[in-house]
Amino acid sequence: MASLNRKSIIMDAAGIERALARIAREIARNGPGDGELAIVGIRTRGIPLGERLARQIEEIREECPPFGYLDITLYRDDLQSIGYHPVVGATRLPFDINGTHVVLVDDVLYTGRTVRAALSVLVDYGRPRTIQLAVLVDRGHRELPIRADYVGSEVPTSRGEAIQVNLDETDGEEAVYLCEIPGEEGTTQ
């Protein structure tokens, strides 16, 4: 990845915590009530975010929703044009997703193509009753008819910018940055 020039900080540790707490409350209180709720993180940073959400929902509901995660490498729609994904990540959905209310979790919602691929992975495992989407940051520029049900922060960006989400579990710090991609058109992160 080309080095990114950080322009500003969008969320600090407290901001991330507040955003997740609010999303957890919304899912726990207003989210799907009947039937089982399940949290599914999208690799890489959707995994720690999803785990945190599951824990916070447990505190509110006194019941921990089943948690799983998925990798979209084999389901990308840009394999021919972008190609080269030698590392296939793990997908672990250790519960029956049939009939459950799944909340997909990712760090940044951008073109919507990652979520499209994640939906394809999920339906290969079964038929959830509903699928919702929770993201920490929605940066706009959708290329597909996809929207998030729970959003930590909406951040207007240009395509020449990137959102960098750093989490303790994956990066050793808690912060969300708005960055500029030097001499490149926009990509996710």
Partner 1 sequence: MKLNDAPGLDRKDLLGLEELSEREIRLILDTAREFREVLDRPIKTVPAMRGFTIANLFYESSTRTRMSFELAQKRLTADSIGLAVTASSVKKGESLRDTARNIEAMRVDMIVMRHSQSGAPHRLAAQIDAHVVNAGDGCHEHPTQGLLDLYTLLENLGDLRGKRIVIIGDIAHSRVARSNIHGLRRMGAQVGVCGPPTLIPVGIEDLGVTVYPTIEEALAEADAINVLRIQLERIGVPLFPSTREYARLFGVTPARLEVAKREVLVLHPGPINRNVELDSRVADAPGAVILSQVTNGVAIRMAVTYLLAQKTMKAAHALA
Question: CB of 85: closest distance to partner 1 in angstroms?
Answer: 6
Closest CB to partner 1 among residues 60, 123: 123
Sites of contact with partner 1 (CB under 8 A): 1, 44, 71, 73-75, 79-92, 120, 124-126, 188-189
Question: CB of 124: closest distance to partner 1 in angstroms?
Answer: 4
Question: CB of 126: closest distance to partner 1 in angstroms?
Answer: 6
Question: CB of 94: closest distance to partner 1 in angstroms?
Answer: 11
Closest CB to partner 1 among residues 1, 14: 1
Q: Are 128 and 65 in contact (CB under 8 A)?
A: no
Q: Are 141 and 127 in contact (CB under 8 A)?
A: no
Question: CB of 176: closest distance to partner 1 in angstroms?
Answer: 17
Q: Report helix, strand and coil shares of the chain as percent, to nearest 5.
A: 30, 30, 45
Residue 92 DSSP symbol: B
| Residue 130, C-beta contacts closer than 8 angstroms, at least 6 positions apart | 32, 101, 102
Dihedral sign from CA coordinates of 48, 189, 12, 172: positive
Closest CB to partner 1 among residues 15, 89: 89
Closest CB to partner 1 among residues 56, 111: 111
Q: What is the spatial distance between Cα 165 and Cα 122, in angstroms, rounded to a whole number?
A: 24
Closest CB to partner 1 among residues 14, 87: 87
Q: What is the spatial distance between Cα 134 and Cα 37, in angstroms, rounded to a whole number?
A: 13
